[in-house]
Amino acid sequence: MRTNIRFIVVPLALATMGLGATLGTASVSSAAKKAPAPVKVGIVTEKTGIFSAYTTEWLQGVNIGLSYATKGSGKVDGHRIVLNTVDDGDNPTTAATDFKSFVGAGYKIIGGTVDSSIATELAPLAAQNKTLYISGPAAADQVTGVNRYTFRSGRQTYQDVQTAASYIKALGTGKTVLVLGQDFAFGQSYVTDATQAFGSLGDTVKSLLVPLTTTDFTPTALQVQALHPDIVFLAWAGSTGAPLAQALDQQGIFTSSKVITGLANTATYQFYGAAGLKFNYLSLYNWQSPHNAVNTYLIKGMLSKYHQYPDLFTADGFVWAQMVVRAIQTGQGTNVTKMIKGLEGWTFQAPKGMQTVRASDHAMLQPMFQVQLVSTVTGNYQPVTLATLSSAATAPPVVAHFGS
């Protein structure tokens, strides 16, 4: 199933007002003649499939981020931003076809995808067609440094692993650490990073990757049980997290092993039950951790427009929008070479804090968080920030030198 959604960014403050309040009534025809051409921006992402919830929150962040970055105008230097979002159904072939369709229609800026495997398929198309591709929020390390036309708006698995490393170190050396993930680019990237990072601490690292199509996780839980790990590093994404957690709990994994995992979106906080209160969590973003004016803007925008707080990937969508606006500003919406130069080395205030697009390989340097879940008086769960790791503390190694 595919959907094709076109929308124009409307200032949040004007969203409930009449069209006349947005456009004005005087000299419309003369202004239209002089107005710069709109800039069309394509988004290829998973509106259906196991990552659809992530896409929803990411797109909400995009909407609010564009309002922030354009000061509520929906325009950059007079250029109206027009987004066209298509659903790839989490299918790499569909995603590639959609990407090429955007290229054929003259789009110079294309972004999106939660699925790391799809991001690694689209990145080469960006270089082949000399089109700016800003992925988001796919996390596989392979997206960094793949070519000078590809950027990322979110973190990568290396940064997750480095955030988890101090938890592993505190548990002592000589432990058996099992990396439990999904068998695609995302999970494979975690295995590579964790084997190196945790192995260097004096631990034995094993891995178990599960096919994305798995629905019955009892065999997986039994495999984990048979390995007798001291520590389980759970690297999981998508809607199958709930049945996995149930299967692991039934086999006693949460009581026999120390669990370290990423804090996922809010709906998953209760997946692990009371055992989850003892887990060590790394967090790429939760709205309670950062304290700055941009995050406050995002929180207020979410409450005003969507009547909810930001979620796991909302901030990544916001950052993606900031990068799109920066690209249009520096390249007038058509000059891809200037867009690339405008993004390389750019340091900016994001909801998470100060972030930098590393010029050499386009890694997104950013703060990361260590948190724990606590139970509230209402029986819900919420994160409490234990530590904020600087962008330098989790910076991935440089993998390419594109120049600037």
- Type of residue found at 288: Q
CATH 3.40.50.2300 domain range(s) in the chain: 4-155+290-365, 158-283+369-389
Q: Taking a C-beta distance cutoff of 8 angstroms, is the pair 89, 22 a contact? A: no
The tens-digit pLDDT sequence of the chain (404 residues) is 444 444 344 333 333 333 333 334 444 455 446 778 999 999 999 999 989 999 999 999 999 999 999 999 999 999 999 999 999 999 999 999 999 999 999 999 999 999 999 999 999 999 999 999 999 999 999 999 999 999 999 999 999 999 999 999 999 999 999 999 999 889 999 999 999 999 999 999 999 999 999 999 999 999 999 999 999 999 998 889 889 999 999 999 999 999 999 999 999 998 888 888 999 999 999 999 999 999 999 999 999 999 999 999 999 999 999 999 999 999 988 999 999 999 999 999 999 999 999 999 999 999 999 999 999 888 889 999 999 999 999 999 999 999 64
Rg of the chain (C-alpha set): 21
CA 352 to CA 284: how far, in whole Å? 9
**CATH H-level, domain 158-283+369-389: superfamily:** Response regulator (3.40.50.2300)
Tokens of 321: 């929008």
- The β-bridge partners of 178 are 206, 232
Report the 10 Å Cβ neighbour count for 50.
Answer: 18
CA 267 to CA 32: how far, in whole Å? 45
Return the pLDDT at 98: 98
- Type of residue found at 303: L
Phi-psi region of 112 (alpha: psi -120 to 50; beta: other; left: phi over 0): left
Return the pLDDT at 403: 62
176-182, strands of its sheet edge to edge: 204-210, 176-182, 231-235, 258-262, 280-283, 368-375, 381-389
Return the pLDDT at 275: 86
CB burial of residue 374 (10 Å; 0-12, 13-18, 19+): exposed
Q: Taking a C-beta distance cutoff of 8 angstroms, is the pair 331, 319 a contact? A: no
For the chain, report the end-to-end CA distance as a whole number of angstroms. Answer: 40
| CATH, domain 4-155+290-365, list 3.40.50.1000, 1.10.3720.10, 3.40.50.2300, 3.30.710.10 | 3.40.50.2300
CA 121 to CA 136: how far, in whole Å? 13
Q: Rounded to 5 degrees, what are φ and ψ at 385?
A: -75, 125
CA 341 to CA 203: how far, in whole Å? 42
CA 170 to CA 118: how far, in whole Å? 36
CA 192 to CA 141: how far, in whole Å? 10
CA 134 to CA 316: how far, in whole Å? 11
CA 261 to CA 249: how far, in whole Å? 15
CA 371 to CA 397: how far, in whole Å? 25
CA 345 to CA 360: how far, in whole Å? 8
pTM attached to this predicted model: 0.88
